[in-house]
Amino acid sequence: MKNNLTVIKPVAIKAFSALSTCGMGNKALYQSLADNQSQLAPLSLFSISFPAFVGEIKQPLLDIREQLAEYNCRNARVALTALNDAEGGVRAAVETAKDRYGAHRIGVIIGTSTSGLYETESAYGVLLETGDMPDDFHFVTEHAYQATARFVQLELGLTGVCYAISTACSSGAKAIAAGQRLINGGLCDAVIVGGVDTLCRLTLRGFRSLELVSNQPCTPMDKNRNGISIGEAAGLLVLEKCGADNADAMKVLAVGESSDAHHMSTPHPEGKGAVLAMKNALQLAGLKADKIDYLNLHATATKINDSVEGRAVFSVFGDSVPCSGTKGITGHTLGAAGALETIIALTALQQQFIPGTQGLQELDDECQCQVIQFPLQTKNMQIAMSNSFGFGGNNASVIVAL
């Protein structure tokens, strides 16, 4: 059945910045991608009872200022560090937008799946030992899903729309979609969007209970893949309505979304939700499938997810579009993945290269789409797509352009 979606207006990307296990900023991310170098390593942030390679942020994190001390958690510090990356220019772009539109016309939408859960786990440990929660633990401003978004809003002195999105692995991508809609709907003139997620015990143990955690660095799309490597990251983008002053800016053309609700943790075996998200993105952008020059796969390195995604991508694009999965470098950053991998797609367009699929030795026999093993220099790439498919069938495909 064909959806009657109206082509959506693109929005300009004024700045973007990534903080991940690859390091601080877009250059560090690009270097790891260009080198096809995995940054996954054994967990050191806290102890756990099983082996796990993770994409842990090694960059020193900035401290939360005293006035916002109640928001002090790892998630907020990761967001703050990415926000202050001078190279990415996110804070500077927000300040420029404030001068132009006013603080009340700038929104904040942050996707996350963990929020401040790491601090909640630590606080609960204190509760078990002493019978009391620690005095410096603040549930609403650390643990709650909206906490990071609210922290970013207060840190930047903004007063517009502010909320969080938590749809598992598609959270960061859906934040981008929501930001585009706020701008096109006239509710905001600019929106800071993205995803922030940090490592915690619950996430690792939860995926372990599903028998999805690899005891080695993950190998997306590989015939012998055996599970994911969890990572942490912040991916932040400043979106603004298109105008004469940003005609040359990179753009979000559209985000296709779907919710197939097939199963709590397993995608539809035919990839119906994934197919619908990709087709919706193309229709909203007013594009045919052959206009996509590069596709960043969700590619979690689990047996079922990679097989289903390969089937879905082939049904939409055939084998004509070069694809790659980059979680073998960054790990699966969960609620931040959609934003981080949109930034990877933007980096691919900027640098005119196709990232490789780190860890891929032998492509899965069932995969018919064109999966790139090693990075490739190219030219004339104009448009890229990034897939993010979450638990519960929450799917999103982001299309960006030079």
Give me the pLDDT at residue 279, please: 98
Which residues 6+ apart lie within 8 Å of 290 measured at CB? 320, 321
User: Could you confirm whether 143 is annotated as catalytic?
Assistant: no
Read off the tokens for 340.
Answer: 């981080």
Question: What is the distance between the alpha carbons of residues 396 and 398, in angstroms, rounded to a whole number?
Answer: 7
Q: Look up residue 18 and give its amino acid.
A: A
Q: Which of 22, 298, 323, 367 is catalytic?
A: 298
Cα distances from 194 to residues 55, 231, 237, 337, 341, in angstroms, run 18, 16, 6, 9, 10
pLDDT of residue 1: 46
Contact (Cβ atoms closer than 8 angstroms) between residue 399 and residue 282 = yes
* Distance separating alpha carbons of residues 276 and 285, to the nearest angstrom: 14
Pairing between strand 53-54 and 41-42? Answer: antiparallel
Of the residues 169, 200, 218, 367, only one is catalytic, namely 169
pLDDT averaged over 10-residue windows placed end to end, the chain, 402 residues: 81 98 97 97 94 96 98 98 96 97 98 95 94 94 96 98 96 98 98 98 94 94 96 98 87 94 71 93 98 98 94 96 98 98 98 98 94 96 96 90 96
Q: Is 263 labeled as catalytic in the residue annotation? A: no
Place of tokens 């959270």: 171
Domain ranges of the chain: 12-401
Could you please report the per-residue DSSP string of 297-326?
----S-HHHHHHHHHHHHHHHTT-SEEE--
Helix (H, G, I), strand (E, B) or coil at 120: helix
Buried b (16+ CB within 10 A) or exposed e, 327-347: bbbbbbbbbbbbbbbbbbbbb
CATH of domain 12-401: 3.40.47.10
> CA-CA distance, 372 to 178, in Å (whole number)?
31
79's tokens: 């967001």
Alpha helical stretches, state H, 45-165:
74-83, 90-101, 117-130, 147-156
Token pair of 365 as six digits: 């026999």
Instruction: Give the global pTM.
Output: 0.96
Q: Is residue 332 flagged as an active site residue?
A: yes
| Sequence-separated (6 or more) residues with CB below 8 Å from residue 201 | 46, 48, 118, 121
- Kindly name the residue from 188, 323, 332, 367 that is annotated as catalytic: 332
Give the SS3 label for residue 106: strand
